[in-house]
């Protein structure tokens, strides 16, 4: 009967999504060294990364090299760079038990449920068995860990998130780089008075605004706040929660973000900043090729600089602790893990860091040095050097932490709060009741 | 009455499309009804919850009701633009002597443009920073005070996402209504004119009653299309800001594929099916009664 229910349910999902579904089992996720003959075949990687990005190009190249010694091997890349679409695809395939050999995921509550069901290979054991575990930056691995400390995803990047700013525009408005997060609303008012858009933001994708909600609690109560909030053990009505709600409302009141930001996309925001129309832009080192090379608009090139997340009075986290993600991780499907997948990963993960660092990006490992591109500005090196001075705590993006329903509602309510459509009290009440209603289903 | 052999051949030829219809339409509806009695996130065990999803939907979900009323608003705007616009343009076309084909083609053009392209086009038209076409026009004609971010303003966003859908299909319904207007007997109109009927009387007493069966069909088509509207609002605003442009369809989709709550999403899907059936029933009832009066 249970099988009948499952089959019927999968068919219903098919009807809703018009996607193909099926069924299957799983093997031991802790068995990282499968024995037997390596039989070359095509394996797939379901991934959410830029189609022409360094990660994909390098892995393609390494797969081709591996295929020379293993005729018949092929790495098929199934790319969906748009993150919301990707997540829907991943969840539908997971529901149908049709996940491919390798798949990308953040350390979300949904991914944790997959791991608990033994559908993902233990990445810590896997990396140790390949003798590469110690090469990784601890913070790159920590970003991929679930709450219980288990590691089921392998990082391929390491990024630092800064607030980029235009020195000339700040000077024009007579404001200095903020010493505290609490200085930003007044700074926005001064910039607006000078006719300058204070912060360019991609509102369409929702995660950039969600970064801002994480900042005050990280400074006020440390990284544990979100761990407690997502389970309903802390609330937005707590002092740290109220601080972020009031701060966001103040950012909105000071008109910090460009008009109509909620319907503007990634490239709109970037263009506003790089064309000198907006004074600040909060983005990670993955944008170094656009912001710190000669590709940057010459009219603003000399004026661009960055500052790291400001602290606050009484901050429990240090200035060198901020958002430093290692990108979306790659999980290995335990059901399809065999000597071939194991051998390919061994081959690829050992060669990957050097290839990646050669592209000018920060490797998730410490055993290679990033090469500066020939067209880099001095800012490029300055940004990379920040990776050598990181503190022990990192601010986690909340979209990877909250249950999916709460996350969706938070993204919606944040826009309303910042636009002044709802009061801080309404926001607090809605979000606390949303968490109370949805968190128990994911964090039993 | 068809002879027996003809009736048999009609039934034989009807069978394949009927089977296809059952597999493609009825079966998924039954499956969704079945799933609506469960709580299931796609990877955990399914839990039978009886009517709990329906109770939650009807009594405890503020977003559901917001989406429902938004969907009605979206439908109303689409119907006015699509049917009202179509009737107006079709009536004007019947009075034209030259250039009818050009006008028809121009009006029909949006119906063949990809939804994604339309959505992106209108995002640009509504934009304020950089300034889009609509705000630029308002500025040029001296109505600068009305300039706003149309898709970010909770008071204008629903109208703003409905307009492209209405604009898109006006041409299609215009063609149908235009064809119906051409079938109005000229003798009747001539006789009415000789009796001194005004243009308005001619329209309300002769033309419109004559095209009533076609009008009912187009109204049903436009209503069901409007109730299942999804792509343009989803692409333009993803239901936002907040839930200002959230429709039942976008909410159902997000509940299934963002919140991974497949049981509850199926409950909303069942509601959409019932809503469409009720809407079609109401249209038939009201228009038939008007026609009989």
- Residue A444 contacts B where some CB pair is shorter than 8 Å: no
Q: Is B38 a member of any domain?
A: no
The alpha carbon torsion through B249, B155, A200, B129 (nearest 10 deg) reads 110
A17 pLDDT band, cuts 50/70/90, is very low
Burial of B20-31, coded b for 16+ CB within 10 Å and e otherwise, reads eeeeeeeebeeb
Give the C-alpha separation, B84 to B88, whole Å.
6
Q: Is B28 a member of any domain?
A: no
- Give the chain A residue whose CA is nearest to the CA of B240: A412
Q: Is B280 a member of any domain?
A: yes
Number of CB pairs < 8 Å for A and B?
A: 130
Tell me, what CATH number does B74's domain have?
A: 1.10.3720.10
**SS percent in chain B: helix, strand, coil, step 5:** 75, 0, 25
Positions in chain B short of pLDDT 70 = 1-3, 290-293
Query: Once rounded to an integer, what is the mean pLDDT over residues A66-94?
Result: 91
Q: Is the pLDDT of residue A2 over 80?
A: no
Residue B241: cis peptide before it, omega within 30 degrees of 0: yes
Q: Is B145 a member of any domain?
A: no
Between A425 and B291, the more confident residue is A425
Q: Which residues of A touch B128 (CB under 8 A)?
A: 259-260
- Give the chain B residue whose CA is nearest to the CA of A410: B242
Q: What is the pLDDT of residues A24-68, one digit of tens each?
A: 334 677 787 888 888 999 999 999 998 888 999 999 999 999 999
Q: Say whether A117 and B123 touch across the interface (CB within 8 A).
A: no
- Minimal C-alpha gap between B197 and chain A (Å): 52
Average pLDDT for chain A? 91
Q: Is B136 a member of any domain?
A: no
Query: Once rounded to an integer, what is the mean pLDDT over residues A272-287?
Result: 96
Q: What is the pLDDT of residues A96-139, one digit of tens each?
A: 889 999 999 999 989 999 999 999 999 999 999 999 999 999 99
Residue A6: predicted pLDDT: 52
Residue A27: predicted pLDDT: 67
Residue B293: predicted pLDDT: 62
Residue A85: predicted pLDDT: 85
In chain A the domains, ranked by start, together with CATH numbers, are: 42-158+327-370 (3.40.190.10), 161-323+392-442 (3.40.190.10)
Residue A30: predicted pLDDT: 76
Q: Is B67 a member of any domain?
A: yes
Q: Which two tokens stand for residue A2?
A: 């249970």
Q: Which residues of B touch A103 (CB under 8 A)?
A: none
Burial of A81-93, coded b for 16+ CB within 10 Å and e otherwise, reads eebbebbbbbbbb
Give the C-alpha separation, A205 to A159, whole Å.
19
Out of A29-43, A255-269, A300-314, pick the least confident: A29-43
Residue B1: predicted pLDDT: 59
Segments forming the whole domain that contains residue B169: 63-120+156-292
Give the C-alpha separation, B158 to B247, whole Å.
10
| SS3 (DSSP) at A297 | coil
Q: What is the pLDDT of residues B4-21, one digit of tens each?
A: 778 888 888 999 999 999
Query: Once rounded to an integer, what is the mean pLDDT over residues A405-419?
Result: 96
- Minimal C-alpha gap between B241 and chain A (Å): 6
- Minimal C-alpha gap between B63 and chain A (Å): 10
Domain count, chain B: 1
A245 pLDDT band, cuts 50/70/90, is very high
pTM: 0.88
Partner residue opposite A94 with nearest CB, options B42, B254, B258: B42
- Residue B185 contacts A where some CB pair is shorter than 8 Å: no
From residue A12, alpha-carbon distances to A241, A261, B35 in Å are 40, 37, 7
Mutate to test the interface with B, among A2, A5, A15 (most CBs of B within 10 A): A15
Query: Once rounded to an integer, what is the mean pLDDT over residues A206-235?
Result: 95
Q: Which two tokens stand for residue B287?
A: 């228009």
CB A181 within 8 A of CB A312: yes
Q: What is the pLDDT of residues A329-362, one digit of tens each?
A: 999 999 999 999 999 999 999 999 999 999 999 9
Give the C-alpha separation, B50 to B73, whole Å.
32
Q: Is the pLDDT of residue A16 over 50?
A: no
A9 pLDDT band, cuts 50/70/90, is low
Mutate to test the interface with A, among B33, B57, B59, B259 (most CBs of A within 10 A): B259
Q: Is the pLDDT of residue A21 over 60?
A: no
Q: Is the pLDDT of residue A394 over 60?
A: yes
């Amino acid at each position: 009967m249970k099988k009948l229910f499952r089959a019927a349910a999968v068919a219903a999902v098919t009807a809703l999504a018009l996607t193909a579904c099926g069924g299957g089992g799983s093997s031991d996720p802790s068995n990282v060294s499968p024995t037997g003959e390596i039989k070359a075949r095509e394996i797939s990687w379901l991934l959410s990364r830029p189609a022409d990005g360094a990660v994909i190009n390098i892995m393609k190249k390494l797969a081709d090299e591996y295929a020379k010694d293993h005729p018949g091997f092929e790495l098929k890349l199934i790319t969906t760079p748009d993150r919301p679409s990707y997540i829907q695809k991943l969840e539908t395939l997971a529901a149908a038990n049709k996940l491919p050999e390798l798949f990308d995921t953040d350390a979300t509550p949904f991914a944790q449920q997959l791991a608990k069901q033994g559908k993902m290979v233990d990445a810590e054991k896997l990396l140790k068995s390949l003798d590469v575990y110690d090469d990784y930056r601890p913070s790159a691995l920590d970003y991929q860990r679930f709450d219980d400390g288990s590691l089921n995803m392998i990082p391929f990047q390491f990024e630092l998130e800064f607030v980029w700013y235009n020195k000339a525009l700040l000077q024009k408005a007579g404001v200095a780089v903020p010493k505290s997060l609490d200085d930003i609303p007044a700074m926005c008012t001064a910039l607006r008075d000078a006719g300058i858009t204070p912060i360019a933001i991609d509102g369409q994708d929702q995660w950039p605004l969600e970064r801002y909600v994480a900042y005050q609690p990280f400074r006020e109560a440390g990284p544990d706040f979100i761990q407690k909030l997502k389970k309903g053990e802390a609330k937005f009505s707590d002092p740290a929660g109220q601080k972020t709600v009031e701060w966001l409302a103040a950012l909105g009141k000071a008109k910090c973000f460009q008009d109509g930001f909620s319907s503007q996309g990634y490239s709109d925001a970037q263009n506003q900043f790089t064309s000198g129309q907006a004074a600040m832009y909060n983005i990670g080192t993955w944008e170094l090729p656009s912001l710190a090379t000669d590709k940057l608009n010459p009219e603003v090139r000399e004026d661009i600089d960055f500052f790291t997340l400001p602290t606050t009075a009484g901050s429990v986290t240090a200035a060198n602790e901020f958002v430093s993600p290692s990108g979306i991780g790659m999980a290995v499907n335990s059901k399809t893990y065999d000597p071939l997948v194991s051998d390919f990963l061994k081959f690829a993960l050992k060669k990957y860091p050097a290839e990646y660092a050669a592209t000018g990006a920060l490797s998730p490992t410490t055993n290679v040095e990033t090469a500066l591109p020939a067209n880099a500005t001095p800012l490029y090196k300055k940004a990379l050097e920040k990776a050598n001075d990181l503190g022990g705590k990192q601010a986690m993006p909340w979209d990877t932490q909250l249950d999916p329903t709460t996350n969706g509602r938070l993204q919606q309510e944040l826009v309303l709060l910042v636009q002044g459509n709802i009061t801080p009290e309404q926001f607090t009440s809605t979000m606390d009741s949303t968490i109370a209603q949805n968190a128990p289903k994911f964090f039993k | 009455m068809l002879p027996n052999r003809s009736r048999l051949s009609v039934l034989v030829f009807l069978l394949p499309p009927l089977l296809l219809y059952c597999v493609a339409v009825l079966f998924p509806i039954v499956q969704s009804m079945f799933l609506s009695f469960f709580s299931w996130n796609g990877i955990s065990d399914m839990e039978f919850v009886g009517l709990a999803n329906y109770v939650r939907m009807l009594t405890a979900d503020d977003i559901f009701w917001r989406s429902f009323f938004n969907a009605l608003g979206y439908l109303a705007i689409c119907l006015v633009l699509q049917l009202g616009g179509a009737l107006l343009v079709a009536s004007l076309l019947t009075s034209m002597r030259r250039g009818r084909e050009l006008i028809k083609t121009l009006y029909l053009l949006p119906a063949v443009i990809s939804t994604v392209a339309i959505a992106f086009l209108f995002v640009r038209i509504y934009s304020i920073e950089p300034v889009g076409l609509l705000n630029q026009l308002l500025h040029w004609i001296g109505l600068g005070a009305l300039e706003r971010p149309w898709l970010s303003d909770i008071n204008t966003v629903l109208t703003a996402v409905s307009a492209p859908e209405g604009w898109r299909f006006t041409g299609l319904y215009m063609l149908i209504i235009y064809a119906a207007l051409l079938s109005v007997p000229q003798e009747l109109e001539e006789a009415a004119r000789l009796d001194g009927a005004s243009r308005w009387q001619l329209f309300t007493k002769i033309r419109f009653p004559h095209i009533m069966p076609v009008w009912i069909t187009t109204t049903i088509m436009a209503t069901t299309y409007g109730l299942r509207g999804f792509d343009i609002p989803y692409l333009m605003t993803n239901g936002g800001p907040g839930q200002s442009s959230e429709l039942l369809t976008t909410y159902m989709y997000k509940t299934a594929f963002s919140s991974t709550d497949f049981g509850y999403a199926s409950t909303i899907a069942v509601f959409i099916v019932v809503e469409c059936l009720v809407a079609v029933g109401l249209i038939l009832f009201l228009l038939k009664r008007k026609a009989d009066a």
